[in-house]
Protein backbone atom coordinates (compact mmCIF):
# COMPACT_ATOMS: atom_id res chain seq x y z
CA UNK A 1 0.00 0.00 0.00
CA UNK A 2 1.66 3.23 -1.10
CA UNK A 3 1.73 6.26 1.13
CA UNK A 4 -0.05 8.14 -1.68
CA UNK A 5 -3.34 6.47 -0.70
CA UNK A 6 -5.99 9.05 0.21
CA UNK A 7 -6.61 9.93 3.84
CA UNK A 8 -10.21 8.81 4.44
CA UNK A 9 -10.44 9.28 8.17
CA UNK A 10 -9.09 12.09 10.27
CA UNK A 11 -8.90 12.17 14.04
CA UNK A 12 -8.40 15.82 14.87
CA UNK A 13 -7.40 17.15 18.26
CA UNK A 14 -9.53 14.62 20.11
CA UNK A 15 -9.60 14.78 23.89
CA UNK A 16 -11.64 12.72 26.31
CA UNK A 17 -12.01 13.28 30.03
CA UNK A 18 -13.80 10.99 32.45
CA UNK A 19 -14.27 13.20 35.49
CA UNK A 20 -10.71 13.91 36.59
CA UNK A 21 -9.12 11.32 34.29
CA UNK A 22 -7.77 12.53 30.96
CA UNK A 23 -8.03 9.41 28.81
CA UNK A 24 -7.15 11.24 25.57
CA UNK A 25 -5.26 14.47 25.26
CA UNK A 26 -5.38 16.36 21.96
CA UNK A 27 -4.79 13.37 19.69
CA UNK A 28 -4.55 13.81 15.90
CA UNK A 29 -3.72 11.43 13.06
CA UNK A 30 -4.94 10.43 9.62
CA UNK A 31 -5.95 7.01 8.30
CA UNK A 32 -5.16 6.19 4.69
CA UNK A 33 -7.54 4.21 2.54
CA UNK A 34 -6.73 0.52 2.24
CA UNK A 35 -4.00 0.67 4.86
CA UNK A 36 -3.66 -0.99 8.24
CA UNK A 37 -3.08 1.71 10.83
CA UNK A 38 -1.93 0.21 14.11
CA UNK A 39 -2.76 2.01 17.33
CA UNK A 40 -0.38 0.92 20.05
CA UNK A 41 0.60 2.00 23.55
CA UNK A 42 0.88 0.70 27.11
CA UNK A 43 -2.17 -0.35 29.16
CA UNK A 44 -4.41 2.60 29.90
CA UNK A 45 -2.93 4.69 27.06
CA UNK A 46 -6.42 5.45 25.70
CA UNK A 47 -6.58 3.07 22.72
CA UNK A 48 -9.99 1.56 23.47
CA UNK A 49 -11.37 4.98 24.36
CA UNK A 50 -10.25 6.28 20.97
CA UNK A 51 -11.87 3.35 19.13
CA UNK A 52 -15.08 4.01 21.07
CA UNK A 53 -15.02 7.63 19.97
CA UNK A 54 -14.42 6.69 16.33
CA UNK A 55 -17.21 4.10 16.50
CA UNK A 56 -19.61 6.60 18.09
CA UNK A 57 -20.01 4.76 21.39
CA UNK A 58 -18.54 7.72 23.30
CA UNK A 59 -18.61 11.45 22.51
CA UNK A 60 -15.24 13.22 22.59
CA UNK A 61 -14.83 16.01 25.15
CA UNK A 62 -13.11 18.05 22.43
CA UNK A 63 -12.03 17.59 18.84
CA UNK A 64 -13.60 15.69 15.99
CA UNK A 65 -13.44 12.64 13.77
CA UNK A 66 -14.07 13.00 10.04
CA UNK A 67 -14.79 10.25 7.56
CA UNK A 68 -14.50 11.08 3.88
CA UNK A 69 -14.47 14.74 4.90
CA UNK A 70 -17.77 14.33 6.80
CA UNK A 71 -17.83 15.28 10.44
CA UNK A 72 -18.96 12.28 12.50
CA UNK A 73 -19.62 14.09 15.79
CA UNK A 74 -23.22 13.60 16.84
CA UNK A 75 -23.81 10.60 14.58
CA UNK A 76 -24.88 7.46 16.38
CA UNK A 77 -22.94 4.21 16.33
CA UNK A 78 -25.67 2.74 14.08
CA UNK A 79 -25.31 5.56 11.58
CA UNK A 80 -21.58 4.99 11.52
CA UNK A 81 -22.06 1.28 10.88
CA UNK A 82 -24.25 2.25 7.93
CA UNK A 83 -21.38 4.43 6.71
CA UNK A 84 -19.15 1.37 7.00
CA UNK A 85 -17.36 2.08 10.29
CA UNK A 86 -17.52 -1.20 12.19
CA UNK A 87 -15.73 -2.35 15.34
CA UNK A 88 -14.95 -5.48 17.26
CA UNK A 89 -14.55 -5.38 21.02
CA UNK A 90 -11.67 -6.18 23.33
CA UNK A 91 -13.95 -8.88 24.81
CA UNK A 92 -15.47 -10.93 22.02
CA UNK A 93 -19.16 -10.12 22.91
CA UNK A 94 -20.58 -13.22 21.30
CA UNK A 95 -23.92 -14.84 22.10
CA UNK A 96 -22.84 -18.12 23.68
CA UNK A 97 -26.22 -19.85 23.39
CA UNK A 98 -26.59 -19.17 19.67
CA UNK A 99 -24.83 -21.12 16.98
CA UNK A 100 -21.80 -19.76 15.21
CA UNK A 101 -23.89 -19.07 12.12
CA UNK A 102 -26.67 -17.37 14.09
CA UNK A 103 -24.13 -15.10 15.76
CA UNK A 104 -23.10 -13.82 12.36
CA UNK A 105 -26.71 -13.58 11.13
CA UNK A 106 -27.78 -11.36 14.03
CA UNK A 107 -24.58 -9.38 13.70
CA UNK A 108 -25.70 -6.97 11.09
CA UNK A 109 -29.19 -6.20 9.98
CA UNK A 110 -28.14 -2.59 10.14
CA UNK A 111 -26.99 -2.30 6.58
CA UNK A 112 -30.05 -4.08 5.15
CA UNK A 113 -32.78 -2.07 3.49
CA UNK A 114 -35.88 -3.71 4.94
CA UNK A 115 -37.36 -2.22 8.10
CA UNK A 116 -37.98 -4.43 11.09
CA UNK A 117 -41.75 -4.29 10.69
CA UNK A 118 -41.57 -5.30 7.07
CA UNK A 119 -39.25 -8.12 8.00
CA UNK A 120 -41.65 -9.24 10.70
CA UNK A 121 -44.51 -9.35 8.19
CA UNK A 122 -42.27 -11.34 5.89
CA UNK A 123 -42.95 -9.44 2.73
CA UNK A 124 -41.28 -11.09 -0.24
CA UNK A 125 -38.59 -8.47 -0.29
CA UNK A 126 -37.85 -9.07 3.38
CA UNK A 127 -37.76 -12.80 2.76
CA UNK A 128 -35.20 -12.29 0.03
CA UNK A 129 -33.09 -10.17 2.32
CA UNK A 130 -33.30 -12.82 4.99
CA UNK A 131 -31.91 -15.32 2.53
CA UNK A 132 -29.17 -12.85 1.67
CA UNK A 133 -28.35 -12.48 5.36
CA UNK A 134 -28.14 -16.26 5.65
CA UNK A 135 -25.95 -16.69 2.59
CA UNK A 136 -23.67 -13.83 3.64
CA UNK A 137 -23.34 -15.35 7.10
CA UNK A 138 -22.33 -18.70 5.61
CA UNK A 139 -19.81 -16.92 3.43
CA UNK A 140 -18.21 -15.02 6.32
CA UNK A 141 -18.16 -18.00 8.66
CA UNK A 142 -16.28 -19.89 5.96
CA UNK A 143 -14.06 -16.91 5.27
CA UNK A 144 -12.70 -16.84 8.82
CA UNK A 145 -12.28 -20.62 8.79
CA UNK A 146 -15.18 -21.55 11.09
CA UNK A 147 -17.24 -23.40 8.47
CA UNK A 148 -16.94 -26.78 10.21
CA UNK A 149 -18.27 -25.20 13.46
CA UNK A 150 -21.26 -23.37 11.87
CA UNK A 151 -23.92 -25.32 13.71
CA UNK A 152 -22.20 -25.48 17.10
CA UNK A 153 -23.10 -23.27 20.05
CA UNK A 154 -20.70 -20.34 20.07
CA UNK A 155 -19.94 -21.01 23.76
CA UNK A 156 -18.26 -24.28 22.76
CA UNK A 157 -15.64 -22.51 20.64
CA UNK A 158 -12.18 -22.10 22.11
CA UNK A 159 -11.25 -18.53 22.91
CA UNK A 160 -9.23 -17.94 19.74
CA UNK A 161 -12.10 -19.04 17.54
CA UNK A 162 -14.53 -16.80 19.42
CA UNK A 163 -12.37 -13.91 18.30
CA UNK A 164 -12.56 -15.11 14.71
CA UNK A 165 -16.33 -15.28 15.12
CA UNK A 166 -16.41 -11.68 16.30
CA UNK A 167 -14.50 -10.72 13.15
CA UNK A 168 -16.91 -12.71 10.94
CA UNK A 169 -19.77 -10.80 12.52
CA UNK A 170 -18.09 -7.48 11.86
CA UNK A 171 -17.50 -8.49 8.23
CA UNK A 172 -21.23 -9.17 7.86
CA UNK A 173 -21.71 -5.43 8.43
CA UNK A 174 -19.83 -4.78 5.18
CA UNK A 175 -17.15 -2.56 6.74
CA UNK A 176 -15.20 0.07 4.85
CA UNK A 177 -13.19 0.86 7.97
CA UNK A 178 -12.80 -2.00 10.42
CA UNK A 179 -11.76 -1.23 14.01
CA UNK A 180 -10.15 -4.21 15.75
CA UNK A 181 -9.49 -3.99 19.50
CA UNK A 182 -6.71 -6.44 20.44
CA UNK A 183 -7.83 -9.30 18.22
CA UNK A 184 -4.66 -11.21 19.14
CA UNK A 185 -5.09 -11.04 22.93
CA UNK A 186 -4.95 -14.46 24.54
CA UNK A 187 -4.15 -16.30 21.32
CA UNK A 188 -1.24 -18.70 20.98
CA UNK A 189 1.43 -18.30 18.30
CA UNK A 190 -0.34 -20.50 15.77
CA UNK A 191 -3.68 -18.77 16.29
CA UNK A 192 -1.96 -15.39 15.94
CA UNK A 193 -0.47 -16.53 12.68
CA UNK A 194 -3.90 -17.47 11.33
CA UNK A 195 -5.26 -14.18 12.61
CA UNK A 196 -2.53 -12.23 10.81
CA UNK A 197 -3.38 -14.10 7.58
CA UNK A 198 -7.04 -13.27 8.03
CA UNK A 199 -6.41 -9.58 8.71
CA UNK A 200 -4.16 -9.48 5.65
CA UNK A 201 -6.91 -11.01 3.49
CA UNK A 202 -9.44 -8.50 4.83
CA UNK A 203 -7.09 -5.70 3.86
CA UNK A 204 -6.74 -7.21 0.39
CA UNK A 205 -10.52 -7.01 -0.01
CA UNK A 206 -10.04 -3.25 0.19
CA UNK A 207 -11.06 -2.73 3.81
CA UNK A 208 -9.22 -0.02 5.74
CA UNK A 209 -8.23 -1.26 9.19
CA UNK A 210 -7.43 0.38 12.50
CA UNK A 211 -5.74 -2.25 14.61
CA UNK A 212 -5.23 -1.91 18.36
CA UNK A 213 -2.75 -4.58 19.35
CA UNK A 214 -0.15 -5.25 22.03
CA UNK A 215 1.67 -7.98 20.14
CA UNK A 216 4.51 -6.13 18.42
CA UNK A 217 5.28 -8.99 16.09
CA UNK A 218 1.72 -8.86 14.78
CA UNK A 219 1.87 -5.07 14.51
CA UNK A 220 5.20 -5.09 12.68
CA UNK A 221 4.00 -7.76 10.29
CA UNK A 222 0.69 -6.11 9.44
CA UNK A 223 0.85 -2.36 9.90
CA UNK A 224 1.42 0.16 7.12
CA UNK A 225 1.46 2.98 9.67
CA UNK A 226 1.78 3.03 13.44
CA UNK A 227 0.39 5.59 15.88
CA UNK A 228 1.67 5.37 19.46
CA UNK A 229 -0.37 6.61 22.41
CA UNK A 230 1.01 7.09 25.89
CA UNK A 231 -1.01 8.51 28.80
CA UNK A 232 -3.64 9.66 26.33
CA UNK A 233 -1.29 11.67 24.11
CA UNK A 234 0.22 10.83 20.74
CA UNK A 235 3.80 9.92 21.52
CA UNK A 236 4.92 9.09 17.99
CA UNK A 237 3.72 7.99 14.58
CA UNK A 238 5.48 6.61 11.54
CA UNK A 239 6.37 3.55 9.53
CA UNK A 240 6.61 0.40 11.67
CA UNK A 241 10.38 0.35 11.46
CA UNK A 242 10.71 4.01 12.43
CA UNK A 243 8.44 3.57 15.40
CA UNK A 244 10.22 0.45 16.58
CA UNK A 245 13.49 2.38 16.73
CA UNK A 246 11.94 5.49 18.28
CA UNK A 247 13.56 6.11 21.62
CA UNK A 248 10.56 7.62 23.38
CA UNK A 249 8.48 4.63 22.30
CA UNK A 250 10.98 2.11 23.56
CA UNK A 251 11.14 3.94 26.90
CA UNK A 252 7.35 4.12 27.25
CA UNK A 253 7.15 0.37 26.76
CA UNK A 254 10.04 -0.44 29.07
CA UNK A 255 8.53 1.77 31.73
CA UNK A 256 5.12 0.20 31.41
CA UNK A 257 5.96 -3.23 32.80
CA UNK A 258 3.82 -6.13 31.60
CA UNK A 259 1.65 -5.30 28.66
CA UNK A 260 1.75 -8.53 26.85
CA UNK A 261 -1.95 -9.26 27.46
N1 LIG B 1 -15.76 4.71 31.13
C2 LIG B 1 -14.68 5.17 31.76
N3 LIG B 1 -14.80 5.87 32.91
C4 LIG B 1 -13.71 6.32 33.55
N5 LIG B 1 -12.45 6.14 33.14
C6 LIG B 1 -12.28 5.45 32.01
C7 LIG B 1 -13.37 4.91 31.26
N8 LIG B 1 -12.87 4.28 30.17
C9 LIG B 1 -11.53 4.39 30.26
N10 LIG B 1 -11.17 5.09 31.34
C11 LIG B 1 -9.80 5.45 31.73
O12 LIG B 1 -9.20 6.05 30.60
C13 LIG B 1 -7.84 5.62 30.45
C14 LIG B 1 -7.64 4.96 29.10
O15 LIG B 1 -8.32 3.71 29.08
P16 LIG B 1 -8.43 2.80 27.79
O17 LIG B 1 -9.29 1.64 28.14
O18 LIG B 1 -8.85 3.61 26.63
O19 LIG B 1 -6.92 2.34 27.61
P20 LIG B 1 -6.30 1.24 26.63
O21 LIG B 1 -5.17 1.89 25.95
O22 LIG B 1 -7.35 0.62 25.78
O23 LIG B 1 -5.73 0.17 27.67
P24 LIG B 1 -5.57 -1.45 27.54
O25 LIG B 1 -4.32 -1.68 26.76
O26 LIG B 1 -5.41 -1.90 28.96
O27 LIG B 1 -6.80 -1.99 26.88
C28 LIG B 1 -7.56 4.72 31.64
O29 LIG B 1 -6.99 5.50 32.65
C30 LIG B 1 -8.93 4.24 32.04
O31 LIG B 1 -8.97 3.90 33.40
MG1 LIG C 1 -8.06 -1.28 25.58
CA distance linking residue 219 with residue 260, whole number of Å: 13
Instruction: Please determine, for residue 113, whether its predicted confidence score (pLDDT) is greater than 60.
Output: no
Minimum-distance ligand 1 atom for the alpha carbon of 214:
25
Q: What is the DSSP string of 226-248?
A: EEEEETTEEEEEE-HHHHHH-HH
Rounded to the nearest angstrom, the distance between the alpha carbon of 45 and the centre of ligand 2 is 8
Of all atoms in ligand 1, which is nearest to the CA of residue 51? Answer: 18
Which residues are CB-neighbours of 186 under 8 A, at least 6 positions away? 159, 160, 163, 261
Nearest to 223 by CA among 27, 29, 32, 10: 32
Q: Mind listing the pLDDT tens digit for each residue in 210-229?
A: 999 999 999 999 999 999 99
At 125 the pLDDT is: 64
Residues 258 and 139: their CA atoms lie apart, in Å, by 38
Say if residues 195 and 164 touch (Cβ distance below 8 Å).
Answer: yes
Q: Is the CB of 56 under 6 A from ligand 1?
A: no
Cβ of 45 closer than 6 Å to ligand 1, yes or no, is yes
Q: Which ligand is nearest to the CA of 180?
A: 2
Q: Tell me if residue 89 falls in helix, strand or coil.
A: coil
Kindly state the average pLDDT of the residues 190-207.
Answer: 95
Of 14, 17, 18, 228, the one to substitute when testing ligand 1's pocket (max ligand atoms within 8 A of C-beta) is 18
Dump pLDDT digits (tens) for 173-182: 889 999 999 9
Question: 46 in ligand 1 pocket by Cβ < 6 Å?
Answer: yes
Domains of the chain (ranges; CATH) run: 7-84+175-255 (3.40.50.300), 96-159 (no CATH)
Q: How confident is the model at residue 106 (pLDDT cuts 50, 70, 90)?
A: confident
Contact 212, 234 (CB under 8 A): no
Q: Calculate how far, in angstroms, residue 186's C-alpha sits from the geometric centre of ligand 1.
A: 19
Whether residue 23 has its Cβ less than 6 Å from ligand 1: yes
pTM over 0.95: no
Q: Which ligand is in closest contact with the Cα of 181?
A: 2
Contact at 8 Å (CB) between 51 and 181? Answer: yes
* Rounded Cα–Cα distance for residues 172 and 12 (Å): 29
Using a 6 Å cutoff on CB, does residue 41 contact ligand 1? yes
Instruction: State whether the beta carbon of 103 lies less than 6 angstroms from ligand 1.
Output: no
Amino acid sequence: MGSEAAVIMEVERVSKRFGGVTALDDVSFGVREGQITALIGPNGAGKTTLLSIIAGALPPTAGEVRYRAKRLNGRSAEERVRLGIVRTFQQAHIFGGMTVLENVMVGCHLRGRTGLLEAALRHPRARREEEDVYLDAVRFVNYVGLGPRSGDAASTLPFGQQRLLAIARALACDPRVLLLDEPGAGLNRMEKNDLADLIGRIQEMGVTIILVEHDMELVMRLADWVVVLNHGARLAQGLPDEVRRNRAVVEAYLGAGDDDD
